[in-house]
Chain A
Amino acid sequence: MNYIEHVGKYFMMLGQIFKRPQKFRVFWEALFREIEQLGIKSIGIISFISFFIGGVIALQTALNISDPLIPKMLIGFATKRSVILEFAPTFCSIILAGKVGSYITSSIGTMRVTEQIDALEIMGVNSLNYLVLPKIIATVFFYPFLIILGMFLAIFGGWAAGILSNMFYEADYIAGIQYDFAPFLVIYALVKTIIFAFIISTVPSYHGYYVKGGSLEVGKASTQSVVWTIVVIVIANYFLTQMLLT
């Protein structure tokens, strides 16, 4: 199957997903289950990575400012901008593509190879709508909160790195993060996050739903889905940046 066929099949899958849930009670249960699995269980890794990456950005910026004419507040400013523009929405989405993407592909793929999806279809359940729609809603609504948390923790991590290393003053860092705050950049980051969340939930679902074979193929599909999710995120990131910031 060539790439164009895959793209066509992916959009046909989306057509099946976006239908009215057959039973809202069942849909809500599935939605809360997915919020827990895909969102709440990702808080730990996003918090951990954000804090340390924020620290690294601040330290590296500080190390690269040797000219005494450049104000030290640039460290806080650069950390804030890097985190809001790229690190939080894109880097965190790539981390989530690895963690959540492989989970989605392997769970749906296992359901496929063990005939659980056939069982749903035979019962008369729209399996794509039942399995994938709660994942999309859960990620699209929850990930912006996760990314905002990542932004705060990364900026906090930068502050903590400065305090612990004595490489810059706290006052300079605080002045830097307060300097020239542009709310549109946060909106830009959240728009990107919502689109990346959609990609993170649908591309791995596609790979899992159409897997053929056994457990080995499910493993291969998980790896492929992570790779393709990252590729799609990176391409989407480029076009979104061009559309929203230029």
Chain B
Amino acid sequence: MIKVNDIHKRFGEAEVLKGISTSFEPGKTNLIIGQSGAGKTVFLKSLLGLHTPEEGTIIYNGQINTEMTIEDKRDFRQELGMVFQGSALFDSLNVEENVMFPLKMFKKESKEEMLERVNFVLKRVDLENSNKKFPAELSGGMQKRVAIARAIVMNPKYLFCDEPNSGLDPSTSILIDNLIKEITQEYQITTVINTHDMNSVMEIGDKIVFLKDGLKAWEGSSKEIFKTDNQTVVDFVYSSNLFKKVREAYLNEQ
């Protein structure tokens, strides 16, 4: 569980986050959406601890970010997994070494135990026969799966994803979305996804937070987003004719 209380983040004169409060529950896929420049990335980086908000607090399972010692922060980093927009796999390491890297760095396990865990997570993301391949030999979708495997190999409590569908074809996007949702539910992880993909919003959004100009403009579930009369959200989410028609059909059904 992550609770965000009125966080503000400034870069010089510019205030990028202007007081955002929300909460993210375990076992749920929480999506952050909004236009470019709305503050999504800064918000996600603040949750990750890469930015320190000037005001407000972020509470991770009762641990307040401002009260964390260096050791607490180090331990906290091991409780989170991150899937980057470009996967961020280590080019010089093969799939197996990439996924094993956090284990080698932080666990005192034998090589056999680590390999067993690596094979388990690779099987979980349907990548069983690619252990010795290097990132350059993998497709975009496969790279994302390796990134997910690396993010969950340490059994994280929190999973953060920055545009996990970016650059993927629609069917691979759906596969990645479903994989993230399944893993979130299976391991009761608190998942926060930064996305522009409206398919993801409709398909896997247990909770959606819409940011506009550094403020939370709306929050709700993927069902509620169909019914909302918040014009800013409607203009953003249903900007394409296809989604407009989907929304109309849904509302007519109701």
Interface residues in B85-141 by Cβ distance below 8 A to A read 85-86, 88-92, 101-102, 104-106
Inter-subunit contact B104/A23 (CB<8 Å): yes
Interface residues in A4-27 by Cβ distance below 8 A to B read 22-23, 25-26
In the bound complex, CA of A28 to CA of B95 (Å): 20
In the bound complex, CA of A98 to CA of B135 (Å): 28
B interface residue count range (under 10 / 10 to 19 / 20 to 34 / 35 or more) = 20 to 34
**B84 contacts chain A at the CB level, 8 A cutoff:** yes
Q: In whole Å, how far is A162's beta carbon from the nearest beta carbon of chain B?
A: 45
Residue among B86, B89, B105 making CB contact with A123, cutoff 8 Å: B105
Q: With contacts A23-B104, A23-B105, A26-B105 known, is A122 near B85, CB below 8 A?
A: no
Residues of chain B with a CB closer than 8 A to A125's CB? 105
The interface bits of chain A over 15-56 (1 if a CB of B lies within 8 angstroms of the residue's CB, else 0) are 000000011011000000100000000000000000000000
Inter-subunit contact A119/B84 (CB<8 Å): yes
Q: With contacts A124-B77, A124-B78 known, is A118 near B104, CB below 8 A?
A: no
In the bound complex, CA of A191 to CA of B235 (Å): 68
Residues of A within 8 A of B (CB-CB), count: 17
Q: In whole Å, how far is A48's beta carbon from the nearest beta carbon of chain B?
A: 27
Inter-subunit contact A119/B105 (CB<8 Å): no
The interface bits of chain B over 43-54 (1 if a CB of A lies within 8 angstroms of the residue's CB, else 0) are 000001010000
Inter-subunit contact A116/B77 (CB<8 Å): no
Q: In whole Å, how far is A36's beta carbon from the nearest beta carbon of chain B?
A: 12
Q: In whole Å, how far is B89's beta carbon from the nearest beta carbon of chain A?
A: 8
Inter-subunit contact A122/B50 (CB<8 Å): yes
The interface bits of chain A over 83-118 (1 if a CB of B lies within 8 angstroms of the residue's CB, else 0) are 000000000000000000000000000110011101
Chain B residues proximal to chain A, CB less than 8 Å: 48, 50, 74, 77-78, 80, 82, 84-86, 88-92, 101-102, 104-106
New A-B pairs, 7, CB < 8 Å, besides A119-B88, A124-B78, A125-B105: A26-B105, A111-B91, A122-B50, A123-B78, A123-B105, A124-B77, A124-B106
Chain A residues proximal to chain B, CB less than 8 Å: 22-23, 25-26, 33, 110-111, 114-116, 118-119, 121-125
Q: Give the top 9 A-B pairs by smallest Cβ distance, nearest first.
A: A124-B77, A115-B88, A119-B88, A115-B84, A122-B82, A116-B88, A124-B74, A123-B102, A23-B105
